[in-house]
Amino acid sequence: MKKKIIYLIIFLLLIFVFSVFFKGLYKPNLYSPSQTSNKSLIEFSGKELFTNIEINSSQLISNNKFTIVNIWASWCVPCRSEHKILMDLSKNLNLNLIGINYKDNSESAKKFIHELGNPFSKILVDNSGITSIELGAYGIPETLLVNDNAKIIKKYIGPLTDKNVKEIEKITNQ
């Protein structure tokens, strides 16, 4: 009898393990940290791209109801395609756009802006990439939507899509 119980337990364990693996097959493998969080945006500063003046984020954030922080670079191909959406978003009066130029060459970055337009009120230069990492980014482009209390409302990894834009508009027009 004892032997039969052992076999039964083994069999049940097998069923358990296999169901877990089965379910596991259909889970996405790429890691994306939680898109919504109750985190606050840390304060950051850097030199402005065109004026070379050191600017600090806290004043910029608190002065506007909603701020979009977009991390980009001239060598990043998806950033190019996303730029038009940023230009459209900049027309939204409730939104202030801040750009962070990630590990880029200043000349190439300026050329990029001259060519495609400037949706940003300010562009911070992040040559080392440390600022972007401190903001929790790990790839570009990445976009953060924050309110005037520096609370991160939404985080978008990868280029912004039309769906994202609709979401942003809904939140900012409330």
Partner 1 sequence: MLSSYLGYYSLILGFILSVWLLFDSFISLSKKNKNLKKNTILVLFLQLFTVVLSFLSLVYSFINSDFSNETVYNNSHTTKPLFYKISGTWGNHEGSLLLWLLVLTLFIFLFIFKSKNQPTKYKLLTLFFQQIIIIGFFLFLLLTSNPFNFLFPIPNEGLGLNPILQDPALAIHPPILYLGYVGSSIIFSASLAALVQKNINADWAQHIKKWIFTAWIFLTLGIMLGSIWAYYELGWGGFWFWDPVENVSLMPWLCLTALLHTIVVLEKRLILQSWTLILSIATFTLSMSGTFLVRSGILNSVHTFANDPSRGVFILIFLFVLIVLSLIIFFFYHPKESSEKKIFWFSKETTILINNWFMMYFLSVVLIGTTYPIFLEVITNEKISVGPPFYHKLLIPFLIPFLIFMAIGPKLKWIKQAFKKIKIQQFILFILSFLISYLIVEKTSVEHLFTTILIGAAFYLFFITIGEFFKKNINFSQNISHFGFSLFVLSVLFNSLFSSEFSANMKIGEELKFDNNLIKFNNIETFDEKNYKSIIANFDIISVKDTTTFNPEIRIYNQPNILTSEADIKSSFFSDKFLVINLLKGDKLFNVRYQNKSFMIWIWISVLLLVFGGLASFVKRYNR
Partner 2 sequence: MKYFKLILIILISFIFLQKNLVANDNSKLVNKISKNLRCLICQGQSIYDSQSDFAISMKLLIKKKIEEGNSETKIYQYLKNQYGEWIVYDPELNKKTILLWLFPLILFAFGGLLIFRKVFINKL
Interaction of residue 136 with partner 2, rule CB under 8 A: yes
Q: Decide whether 81 or 128 has the Cβ nearer to partner 2.
A: 128
Q: Decide whether 17 or 42 has the Cβ nearer to partner 1.
A: 17
Interaction of residue 103 with partner 2, rule CB under 8 A: yes
Please give the Cα distance from 61 to 69 (Å, whole number). 10
> What string of DSSP letters covers 75-129?
T-HHHHHHHHHHHHHTT-TTEEEEEEEES--HHHHHHHHHHH----SEEEEESSS
Residue span binding partner 2 (CB under 8 A) among the ranges 44-52, 64-72, 81-89, 136-144: 136-144
Could you tell me the two tokens for 49?
């791209």
The answer to whether 135 touches 105, Cβ cutoff 8 Å, is no
The answer to whether 150 touches 56, Cβ cutoff 8 Å, is no
Q: Which helix (H) or strand (E) holds 58?
A: helix 57-62
Q: How far apart are the two ends of the chain, measured CA to CA in Å?
A: 68
Site map 32..71 versus partner 1, x via CB under 8 A: ----------------------------------------
Q: Which of 6, 12, 20, 130 binds partner 2 (CB under 8 A)?
A: 130
Interaction of residue 130 with partner 1, rule CB under 8 A: no
Residue span binding partner 1 (CB under 8 A) among the ranges 20-28, 47-55, 81-89, 166-174: 20-28
Q: Which of 105, 136, 165, 171 binds partner 1 (CB under 8 A)?
A: 105
Contacts with partner 2: how many residues (CB under 8 A)?
A: 14
Supply the minimum distance, in Å, between the C-beta of residue 53 and partner 2.
22
143, β-bridge pairs: 70, 156
Interaction of residue 107 with partner 1, rule CB under 8 A: no
